[in-house]
Chain A
Amino acid sequence: MIDFGFFREIFQSINKNKLRTLLSGFTVAFAIMLFAILFGVANGLQNSFNSEFAGDANNSIFIFSGRTTKAVEGMQVGRKIQFDNDLYNTIKKEFKDEVEFISGRVYKNLTASYNDEKSNYTIRAVNPDHQFIEKTDIIKGRYINQLDIKNKTKNIVIGKLVWEDLFKGKDPIGKYIDLSKIKYKVVGLYIDQAEGSDSNEERIIYMPISTAQQIYGSNDYVDQINLTYNKAMSAEQAIAFNNKLVKRIKAIFSVAPEDQAAIRTRNQAEEMNNVSQFNAVLSILVLIIGFGTLIAGIVGISNIMIFIVKERTKEIGIRKALGAPPSSIVALITLESVLITAIAGYIGLLMGAVVLDSMKDTLKEYWITEPGVSTTLVVGAGILLVIAGLIAAYVPAKRASRIKPIVALRDE
């Protein structure tokens, strides 16, 4: 049977000494509140970072071409580098172990019209893999497929905003859109959740790359090549792969190895590396400051507990004279501390959460999104608080249990 008498003793001692309890509780509550706010803000900062880079697959490499800035093998500076299907096929073949998805991109700007509606849109002519590189979510119909590429079909996939502009909410699948006088059949409708609803990513029309090459250029030019690397690669390996890729492409187009402008890449690995490094530094900083605050709280309550023991010396002496074993004295002091710490700690946590919640909109302006304390943190903090209470009370409780009743009784 549980002995409630023991808890009754503790509640009585807490209840009869309200100021003392309030003081020690305040120290802990304040420390935990600061801890929660700090943690929440850091969380928000990380959320901002993550959402900023979540738009595309985070293992993607985009390859762009420009004009040469260094003369090489007798060729002029300022030569324009033009990617083509050969390069696409070469990369796909030579790096088949490293590459997960790969797609070329051809850009066009065309006027689209359906019935009386008319508007300008960016056209991206792509390979089927592009869907996974850009994280495009098909909500109706299908994406560009291999048959479209092979047969150079006039099929297109439209974004949500294009659909809203032209179709006013009607089913677009199977309908024909005019793109600068040429009719295209809508085969799919997509949204881009990663970039967020109503972003410009949803104002784009996708078509097969082979179709665009034939109709708008009669060539096999590619404006840009996007790929994702094998997810098994570490950030370092990905960066090494990126460098190898650039070197190979420079060799193909006879570009000087030190020419930075002719072939450029945007490697998410590098950016992710920076972001995760920043996150790591931030986490360590938060941990140090957070633990500092917590330790200050523990020291604070420890201090107060020492004072409490001093104040209760006589009472402890009386209890011992009446037959209290040392273990019951230790338990009395420790449990009081744990109880105060746990309750005050949760009040602090709650206050922190409320403060964070009320500052949500203000913080958003400072690039801090969704600052909050997670359930894991709350549970973790609960365990931590009990441990903190135990640590805080250990020294004072030990001291109290060692007081000789005769010394304690003399204490006035």
Chain B
Amino acid sequence: MVSIKKLHKSYKMGDSSLHVLKGIDLNIKEGEMVAIMGSSGSGKSTLLNIIGILDEHDKGDYTLDGVEIKNLDEKKAAQYRNKFLGFVFQSFNLITFKNALENVALPLYYQGLSRKDRQEKALFYLDKVGLKDWAKHLPNELSGGQKQRVAIARALASQPKVLLADEPTGALDSGTSAEIMQFLQQLNDEGRTLLIVTHETDIANMCKRIVKLKDGIIMSDKKVKQVRC
């Protein structure tokens, strides 16, 4: 599903440049649940952004579901993001003036679906995350866990090939975290491919494979026994 070879990325910082990713090789197959770990500055978020086509790599190859991702213009990039990827962010990133249903329906709007189809589909995914009764509520009327579940519903709505989660439990207490992770595990059980960036070991242990990053290179990449919550 995701195939990365000798991936490099550096950021320009004035005159000098910061080499963040120094030759990453990574293959993720369909149905995997992978945790990317590392301390801050290890390049894990940069890697996720490149996989999410939110950022561009300098060197190396990146293929997503058989499509080579290289030198995309903004329009194409937006199209691929919409078609292939679903995002779950640490800070939820819901649009504050839209209610839960409208937030979930937004990626479907960019897919060009009719209003009726959008509403129907969005409601279906809200139901899936258990928030059907909260459809008309604005994000600030929801708890942290509820917000993240709306974000997950939104990520699922466009039926992406890969679900990318950047510290999905970073802003949640441990109880709510477990609840969210349980839900993500359930999605994986249904066959979805998940990629989760985290720095917490117990969160990583809830995945099936852990990739550890340090200073822009992969230190270890091993399958683990999944801890169910």
Contacts and interface: CB of A to CB of B under 8 A. Distances in A.
B52 to A, nearest CB: 8
Contacts of A257: none
- Kindly name the residue among A9, A318, A320, A322 whose own CB sees the greatest number of chain B CB atoms within 10 A: A322
Interface stretch (A117-125, A213-221, A403-411): A403-411
A406 B54 contact: yes
Nearest to A318: B93
Nearest to B94: A318
B65 to A, nearest CB: 15
B116 to A, nearest CB: 11
A180 interface: no
A327 B75 contact: yes
Nearest to A324: B110
B55 A406 contact: yes
Interface stretch (A10-18, A88-96, A301-309): A10-18
Contacts of B216: none
- Kindly name the residue among B78, B82, B102 whose own CB sees the greatest number of chain A CB atoms within 10 A: B78
Nearest to A405: B54
Interface in B32-86: 49, 52, 54-55, 74-75, 78-79, 81-83
Contacts, number: 69
Given A324-B78, A404-B54, A406-B55, A319 B97 contact: no
Contact of A322 (B55, B96, B106): B106
A320 to B, nearest CB: 6
Interface residues of B, number: 29
Interface string A1-29: 00011001100110011000000000000
Nearest to A401: B74
Nearest to A327: B75
Interface in A328-342: 328
A170 B97 CA distance: 78
Interface in A263-284: none
A323 B97 contact: no
Nearest to B107: A322
A105 interface: no
- SS class of chain B's interface: helix, strand, loop or mixed? helix
A159 to B, nearest CB: 73
Contacts of A405: 54
A323 B107 contact: yes
Contact of A323 (B89, B98, B110, B115): B110
B91 to A, nearest CB: 8
B54 A322 contact: no
A323 B82 contact: yes
A321 B79 contact: no
Interface string B94-129: 111110001000110111000100100000000000
A369 B102 CA distance: 55
Contact of B79 (A315, A325, A406): A325
Contacts of A323: 78-79, 81-83, 107, 110-111, 158
Interface of A: 4-5, 8-9, 12-13, 16-17, 314-315, 317-328, 401, 404-406, 409
Given A9-B109, A323-B107, A406-B49, 14 more contacts: A5-B118, A314-B93, A317-B93, A318-B106, A320-B81, A321-B87, A321-B93, A322-B110, A322-B154, A325-B74, A328-B110, A404-B55, A406-B55, A409-B89
14 contacts: A17-B97, A314-B93, A315-B96, A318-B93, A318-B95, A321-B93, A323-B107, A323-B110, A324-B78, A325-B74, A326-B78, A327-B75, A405-B54, A409-B93
Please list the 9 inter-chain residue pairs (A to B) with the smallest Cβ-Cβ separation, ordered nearest first.
A323-B82, A16-B97, A323-B110, A322-B107, A406-B54, A325-B78, A326-B74, A325-B75, A405-B54
